[in-house]
Amino acid sequence: MATSDKYDRQLRLWGAHGQRALMDAKVCMLGSSAIATEALKNLVLPGIGQFTIVDSAKVEAADLGHNFFLEESDLGKLRSEAACKWLLEMNPDVQGAHIDQDSAKAVGQGKEFFRHFSIVIACQLTETLASQLGRLCEELQIPLILVTSLGFVGKIRLFVAEHSVCETKPDSEFGDLRLTDPFPELRRFADSIDFASLNDTEHAHVPYVVILIRALDSWRKRSEGRTLPKTSAEKDEFKDIVSKMRRSPQEANFDEALANAYKAWMPYVIPDAVQQVLSRVASASKSDFWIVARAVSQFVRDCGKLPLAGTLPDMTASTDMFIKLQEIYSSRADGDFAAITAHVATIQKELGVDGSTPGEFVKRFCQNALNCEVFRFRSLEEEFRPPSVEEGGVDLDEELQDDDSLVAWYIALRAADRFREDQNHWPGELCGDGASDLAGDMATLTGLATKVLSSYKASVSVDSVTKMVEEVVRYGGCELHTTSSVLGGIVSQEVVKLVTKQYSPLCNTLLFDGLQGKMQVVEM
Amino acid sequence: MPEVRSQLHGHVFRVLSRKSPFADPDAFDPGAETISYLRESCKVLVIGAGGLGCEILKDLALSGFPDIHVIDMDTIDVTNLNRQFLFRQADVGKPKAEVAAAFINRRLGHLGTKVIPHVGKIQDFDETFYRKFNLLIAGLDNISARRWMNATLHDMVDRTSGEPDPSTIIPLIDGGTEGFKGQARVIIPTMTSCFDCSLDAFPPQVNYPLCTIAETPRLPEHCIEYALVVMWEQRFPGQKMNADSVADMQWVYETAKDRAETFGIQGVTYQLTMGVVKRIIPAIASTNALISAALVSEALKVSTYCGPVLNSYMMYMGQTGVYTHTFPYQKKDDCMVCGGAKLTLTRPRNSTLQELLDCLGASPSHQLSRPSVSSTSGIVFMQNPKPIRQQHEYKLKMTLDELTKADPPVFAPGEDLTVTDPMLPTKLTLQVFLSDG
């Protein structure tokens, strides 16, 4: 029975098809410290298909203090193996493996190593290695998530060559009721209602969809050819018509009509994000998403509109009227779906990929066509030789002068990466705790931060990041469990979003400042 | 042994041993003293051993807190297993607090961590119990328990000298999640805003109006709700529906399905029936993990001053990209808990006592459940026990004008009335003024 299912609480979010995608996913995790196991914990619990931990480190005493997926008896053993064992203990549905190899060696093996994974997560990688891995993932079309956890701060970077989603599930939806241009069946239904002949109960249960269509008719009649209320005077005029139609202030359906009046004056538009999808269909791949997108683009060319979603939000109405209206929208949506399905069949024939796109997917695309979106991410190489503000790069001067911005942490963490590439350890890692012990690394790291800054065409001085640089030296490479667990939580959310192809991924960098309890997403 | 200990906690101890340009230099004393406070004196209580609680226990132990207590009244359900990672299939039916504590003690015993479980309701424990802790972290799934805990901690602050005595202030770090969203906040009684200050920010619970579900059902939810609240009572008078009984749930499902069919409504499923009956909120491992860790990160800073403390509220939304907002939640001057606990209402002269009680319940910033009111001259209205309630029920239909002019008056306009309510551990003072409007 589906409801005694241990996955019930998540199925309510991403559905059975999302769960299937999750169970098919194969995660590659480079690293086995707390950040790696925390992210994997949140993937093993909901039932990810497989994971592979790649690391050659041995379990040390300090690991036991911050990594939950190790036991005292694991001391001295291979960390990837021990972590794998304790992660698997949580959920018998999941398969896991480990590879005794460090990240550099894995990346050095090239595409062959990563080919079989559906997503790669890499912990605490420095720039050079990250760029190489980014290139491999781009060629293989596999999403990559890089994560750095240091003291109270951290960073997450997503990179996917192209990520297309139809179920973006925005928090609030305008919906698709076609009030400004009702299709024939809807028009007939709206016209069939004779307000004057209704008794008071019936009158208070006419759905607002009908009220607004009819009010718009009246408004158009007296507005000499204007099609939609535009100015605020015109909008007031429209609302006035609605108000005059009501019989008593107790009629809740008219309250709803007034609250939703904007839906009657917003002209039908295809959102920018969807336009972008449609404009790309010619050059796109043969994936299911792009085959259906192509079919939708042909449909739009023929009828000027996207396929109808077919859902009707709840509204005050008699059962009868609501059900009739629901049927009108859903049968129109079925018609649009049939038309798209026919286009899909033709396109599949042209491409020689007969019948590969499941009807269930075509249906979901049609239901979510208004929200579909394609996400593109700047490559790591581009990020590391930063584009100018004019080219869409980040405005460092503005960010570093803004007290609410966390971009100063980005600079300090980049400097720490370079320090590690030069010296093979973290700044502050091998020193004593006093200020004088740390002064040397502080000077070196400040120099590196200046270099990172100068790679941007920014005029801001290194002074604006001094406190962050000092704090990074304080941390001396330590990994706090809580920071890793916050970051691991976000990483696993992003993995779920990427592999289920639902919701919108973060684009492209998240900075976390656990001192202030703040996060910021920036496109670096 | 001390050497091994310090190696085990090497990462945390490093942060606690070095100065920070962000920490308050007057408060943070890097080094041995701070470390020994964390390791030897600091005592933390975790409220709830569910989705957040399991994570919080792990996070505390791995942040160096050795002395941890946890309270939870619930037992483990199979649907917990997708996120409550200290529980396994074989634990279903056992008390959450005990299984969670045993797991942490087993896995992390070598850290010197000891988690002590308490199976019960927070209301079962008194001030002497709560006073033992330096800090509370709450991972609760309902508003009323959080209100009770918040009010209790505020009530425990000693103000006999006029000013709040800092040694009696126990910080409350509170979090909550729903799907991909969550929030974390730090409440320092009398100093920051409190839980009740933000009461009106919580969306009201979904309640389907009876007339809709009875007369004009449109959604499958309407049919389920009708089967649950009306048809159940008709079929099994006086018997409560048990949401954990498969037979009861099946009855509600089938009844709702039949009703939906007669109206031509589609979409009643067993899963949806469960969702409506149990008011299920979707929950996932990732959100619980990140919110819990944010709470414990604050706990470490609050306890050791090794960094600034969250001021005072962080909300997280992970559905569309990642959107977060951190801001100081404003203290409300007329908050029932931290604003002096005095409430003033002006009510129309010809409105009834029932309407006054409804107003206390419906107002988003009060949300009392079953208020009882008394005046200097005696009981105005009492909810419990039943015989007493019946004695006073005649007043519910009387207007406030009639009540104040009765002989003797039931209460006087503007006098200090005392309100008690199951939602609040303490009494509330209420003044009612009458208007002619």
More confident residue, B145 or A282: B145
pLDDT in tens, A370-391: 999 999 999 999 999 998 888 8
Segment holding A215, helix H or strand E: helix A208-221
pLDDT for position B4 = 63
Contact A514 B184 (CB under 8 A): no
Checking if the pLDDT of A267 tops 90, the result is yes
Looking at the complex, does the CB of residue B131 fall below 8 Å from at least one CB of chain A? no
Helices A288-303 and A359-367, axial angle in degrees (round to 10): 50
Residue of A nearest to B110 (CA): A72
Catalytic member of B42, B194, B197, B211: B211
Contact A486 B293 (CB under 8 A): yes
Number of Cα atoms under 13 Å in the Cβ half of residue A101 = 17
Is the N-terminal amide bond of B204 cis, ω within 30° of 0?
A: no
With contacts defined as CB-CB under 8 Å, which chain A residues touch B57? none
CB atoms within 10 A of CB A77: 14
Burial A133-154 (b: 16+ CB within 10 A, else e): bbbbbbebebbbbbbbbbbbbb
- For position A148, which CATH number holds? 3.40.50.720
Burial A435-470 (b: 16+ CB within 10 A, else e): eeebeebbebbbebbeebbeebebebebebbbebbb
Question: Quick one: tokens of A147?
Answer: 């994560």
With contacts defined as CB-CB under 8 Å, which chain B residues touch A406? none
Distance, in Å, from the CA atom of A520 to the CA atom of A406, rounded to the nearest integer, reads 7
pLDDT in tens, A169-205: 998 888 899 999 999 999 999 999 999 999 999 999 9
- Number of structural domains (chain A) is 4
Of B20, B274, B293, the CB nearest to A489: B293
Residue of B nearest to A519 (CA): B324
Checking if the pLDDT of A2 tops 60, the result is no
Contact A488 B289 (CB under 8 A): yes
Looking at the complex, does the CB of residue B108 fall below 8 Å from at least one CB of chain A? yes
CA A364 to chain centre: 18
A7, A9, A321: which to substitute to probe chain B, counting the most B Cβ within 10 Å? A9
Indicate if A367 and A506 belong to the same structural domain.
Answer: no
Of B63, B217, B280, the CB nearest to A319: B217
Contact A319 B110 (CB under 8 A): no
Residue of B nearest to A504 (CA): B320
How many contacts does A have with B, using Cβ atoms within 8 A?
Answer: 263
Residue of B nearest to A207 (CA): B218
Looking at the complex, does the CB of residue B308 fall below 8 Å from at least one CB of chain A? yes
Distance, in Å, from the CA atom of B192 to the CA atom of B138, rounded to the nearest integer, reads 17
Checking if the pLDDT of A231 tops 70, the result is yes
Contact A3 B320 (CB under 8 A): no
Indicate if A40 and A152 belong to the same structural domain.
Answer: yes
Indicate if A471 and A485 belong to the same structural domain.
Answer: no
B54 given a catalytic annotation:
no
Checking if the pLDDT of A1 tops 70, the result is no
Query: Please, what is the Cα angle at B272 between B268 and B278, to 5 degrees?
Result: 135
In a domain, residue A178? The reply is no
B210-277 and B2-202+283-327 share a CATH fold: no
Residue in B359, B361, B352 with CA at minimum distance from that of residue B380 = B352
Looking at the complex, does the CB of residue B417 fall below 8 Å from at least one CB of chain A? no
In a domain, residue A409? The reply is yes
Report the gap between the CA of A251 and the closest CA in chain B (Å): 13
User: Is A237 within 8 Å of A221 (Cβ atoms)?
Assistant: no
Residue of A nearest to B294 (CA): A486
pLDDT for position B1 = 41
With contacts defined as CB-CB under 8 Å, which chain B residues touch A12? 271, 275, 280, 282
Distance, in Å, from the CA atom of B68 to the CA atom of B42, rounded to the nearest integer, reads 9
Contact B11 A480 (CB under 8 A): yes
Contact A481 B62 (CB under 8 A): yes
Indicate if A294 and A335 belong to the same structural domain.
Answer: yes
Indicate if A131 and A31 belong to the same structural domain.
Answer: yes
Q: Which residues lie across from B430 on neighbouring strands? A: B343, B417
In a domain, residue A342? The reply is yes
Residue in A93, A103, A113 with CA at minimum distance from that of residue A25 = A93
| CATH of the domain spanning B2-202+283-327 | 3.40.50.720
Checking if the pLDDT of A356 tops 90, the result is no
With contacts defined as CB-CB under 8 Å, which chain B residues touch A463? none
Indicate if A352 and A389 belong to the same structural domain.
Answer: no
pLDDT in tens, A426-468: 999 999 999 999 999 999 999 999 999 999 988 899 999 999 9
Residue of B nearest to A472 (CA): B20
Indicate if A142 and A105 belong to the same structural domain.
Answer: yes
User: Is B342-435 assigned to CATH 3.50.50.60?
Assistant: no
With contacts defined as CB-CB under 8 Å, which chain A residues touch B17? 433
In a domain, residue A7? The reply is yes
Indicate if A468 and A504 belong to the same structural domain.
Answer: no
pLDDT for position B3 = 58
Burial class (CB in 10 A: 0-12, 13-18, 19+), A322: buried
What is the residue-wise DSSP string for A393-425?
A: ---HHHHHH-TT--HHHHHHHHHHHHHHHHHSS
Distance, in Å, from the CA atom of A120 to the CA atom of A100, rounded to the nearest integer, reads 17
In a domain, residue A380? The reply is no
pLDDT for position A39 = 98
Sheet with B428-435, strands from edge to edge, namely B342-348, B428-435, B417-420, B372-375, B378-381
User: Is B65 within 8 Å of B84 (Cβ atoms)?
Assistant: no
Domain final position from A375, A404, A421: A375
In a domain, residue A35? The reply is yes
Residue of B nearest to A325 (CA): B218
Indicate if A300 and A256 belong to the same structural domain.
Answer: no
CA B356 to chain centre: 25
Q: Where exactly are the structural domains of chain B?
A: 2-202+283-327, 210-277, 342-435
Answer left, alpha or beta for residue B9, where phi above 0 means left and psi between -120 and 50 means alpha. alpha
Which residues, numbered 160 to 219 in chain B, qualify as contacts with chain A under a Cβ-Cβ cut-off of 8 Å? Answer: 179-180, 184, 212, 216-219
With contacts defined as CB-CB under 8 Å, which chain B residues touch A151? 15
Indicate if A12 and A160 belong to the same structural domain.
Answer: yes
Place of tokens 């909550």: B176
Q: Which residues lie across from B173 on neighbouring strands? A: B137, B186
Looking at the complex, does the CB of residue B310 fall below 8 Å from at least one CB of chain A? yes
Q: What percent of chain A has pLDDT over 90?
A: 92
Indicate if A17 and A37 belong to the same structural domain.
Answer: yes
Those residues whose C-beta lies under 8 Å from the C-beta of residue A161, and which sit 6 or more positions away, are A137, A138, A141, A376, A377
B11, B180, B278: which to substitute to probe chain A, counting the most A Cβ within 10 Å? B11
Residue in A522, A169, A517 with CA at minimum distance from that of residue A373 = A169
CA pseudo-torsion sign A467, A468, A472, A475: positive
437 residues of chain B, pLDDT tens digit each: 455 667 899 999 999 999 999 999 999 999 999 999 999 999 999 999 999 999 999 999 999 999 999 999 999 999 999 999 999 999 999 999 999 999 999 999 999 999 999 999 999 999 999 999 999 999 999 998 999 999 999 999 998 888 899 999 999 999 999 999 999 999 999 999 999 999 888 877 778 889 999 999 999 999 999 999 999 999 999 999 999 899 999 999 999 999 999 999 999 999 999 999 999 999 999 999 999 999 999 999 999 999 999 999 999 999 999 999 999 999 988 888 888 667 888 999 999 999 999 888 887 777 888 889 999 888 999 988 888 888 899 999 999 999 999 888 999 999 999 888 887 777 788 889 999 86
Distance, in Å, from the CA atom of A150 to the CA atom of A481, rounded to the nearest integer, reads 10
Question: Quick one: tokens of A61?
Answer: 């005493």
User: Is A29 within 8 Å of A40 (Cβ atoms)?
Assistant: yes
Report the gap between the CA of B228 and the closest CA in chain A (Å): 18
Question: Quick one: tokens of B224?
Answer: 């389920």
pLDDT for position B341 = 62
Contact A493 B308 (CB under 8 A): no
Say which CATH class B210-277 falls into: mainly alpha
Contact A490 B82 (CB under 8 A): no
Distance, in Å, from the CA atom of B87 to the CA atom of B84, rounded to the nearest integer, reads 6
Instruction: Note every long-range contact of B373-376, with CB atoms under 8 Å and residues 24 or more positions apart, other chains counting.
Output: B373/B411, B373/B417, B373/B418, B373/B419, B373/B430, B374/B417, B374/B418, B375/B410, B375/B411, B375/B412, B375/B415, B375/B417, B375/B418, B376/B411, B376/B415, B376/B416
User: Is A122 within 8 Å of A31 (Cβ atoms)?
Assistant: yes
Sheet with A144-150, strands from edge to edge, namely A95-99, A50-54, A26-30, A119-123, A144-150, A153-159, A509-513, A518-522
Distance, in Å, from the CA atom of A418 to the CA atom of B73, rounded to the nearest integer, reads 51
More confident residue, A223 or B305: B305
Of A4, A5, A61, the CB nearest to B8: A61
CA A42 to chain centre: 17
Domain range for A215: 184-265
pLDDT in tens, A121-149: 999 999 999 999 999 999 999 999 999 99
Indicate if A72 and A144 belong to the same structural domain.
Answer: yes
Contact A323 B264 (CB under 8 A): yes
Question: Quick one: tokens of B259?
Answer: 């009703």
In a domain, residue A177? The reply is no
Question: Quick one: tokens of B32?
Answer: 């041995």
Checking if the pLDDT of A56 tops 50, the result is yes
**ipTM, two decimals:** 0.96
CA B7 to chain centre: 38
Distance, in Å, from the CA atom of A24 to the CA atom of A26, rounded to the nearest integer, reads 7
What is the residue-wise DSSP string for A247-314?
A: S-TT-HHHHHHHHTTHHHHS-----HHHHHHHHTGGG--SSHHHHHHHHHHHHHHHHSSPPP------
Residue in A240, A211, A208 with CA at minimum distance from that of residue A223 = A240
Segment holding A456, helix H or strand E: none
User: Is B61 within 8 Å of B111 (Cβ atoms)?
Assistant: yes
Contact B62 A67 (CB under 8 A): yes
Helix (H/G/I), strand (E/B), else coil: A374: strand
